[in-house]
Structure 1
Amino acid sequence: MNIALWIAGGLLAVVALGGGITKSFMPKEKLAAARGAEWIAGVGSGFLRTLGVLELLAAAGLVLPAVVGIAPVLVPVTAVCWILLMIGAMVTHGRLGQFNLVALNLIYLALAVFVAWGRFTLAPFSA
C-alpha cells in the first residue's frame, strides 16, 4: 500500500508542478489561447498566478514533507486541499461544457482522495 500511495502522490505532484509552472510563468494570453483553457480569459492575472502558486505549493506538499521527514502529516492535508481545488476545476470546466476535462479532474480528485485516505488511515507517516 505504501508504494501505491507514493506513486499516486508522485503523479499528483507532477500534475501540480506542470500546472503551477504554466499558470505562474506563462503569459495569460498564451494560456487562454490553449485548448481547454478558455476559462482563463475570464479571470484576472492575479487570480491565475495565485492558482499557479497554490499548485506549486501542492506539488511540494505532496512529496517533500515525507521525503525530508518534517511534518509528514502535511502530505494528506495537501491531498485534501488538492481535492478542493479539483472540485473547483470540475465546476469551472463543467460550466463551459468541457466534460473531458471534468473527467480528467475527477481522476485527479480520486487519486487525491486515495492519498488523503491512505496517509491519514492506512499507511500514515510516522513523525
Structure 2
Amino acid sequence: MRHGKIRIDENCQVVKAQWLGENWYVECSDGNQHECDYIWLSTGTKFDATTEPLLKNILETYPIKIVKGLPVLDTYLRWPGCELFIMGGLAAMLVGPTARNLSGARMACEKIVPAIVKPSIALSHKLNEVQAG
C-alpha cells in the first residue's frame, strides 16, 4: 500500500463487478468506480438474533435473553421454551469461535442430537408431562 501497488477501500459495498478481459471493472455503492487486477473481499457478518427476519416471530412468542446479538440457548442449542435448535454463528456462545465452520457444525450436532433422539431430554415430552399432570 505504501508503494501504491495495492488499494484498500474499507466499507465499500460492491454493486457491480465485470471482467473486461484483462482486469475487473468494479462499481461501488458510494459511486466510485475502479479497474482492478485482483479483488479480495472481506464479507464479515454481524450476528444479531433480533434483526433476523426468521427469528422475529420466535422472539415475540418465546422471548429470551440476548447477549450482544446472540441468543442464550440451553445446553442442547435449543431456543428455551420451544423445539427450535440453532447452529452456526448464532450458536457461538455455546459452540465457540468455530461455530461458523465445519468443525463447529460437528460440535453443534453433538449437542443437538441427544435432545432429538432421547425422549427424556425432548422439550415436547416434558411439556406433555406438565399438561397431563
- TM-score, normalised to structure 2's length? 0.28
Q: More helix by proportion, 1 or 2?
A: 1
In our comparison, the structure showing a higher alpha carbon Rg is: 2
Q: More strand by proportion, 1 or 2?
A: 2
* Greater relative contact order structure (CA < 8 Å, 6+ sep): 1
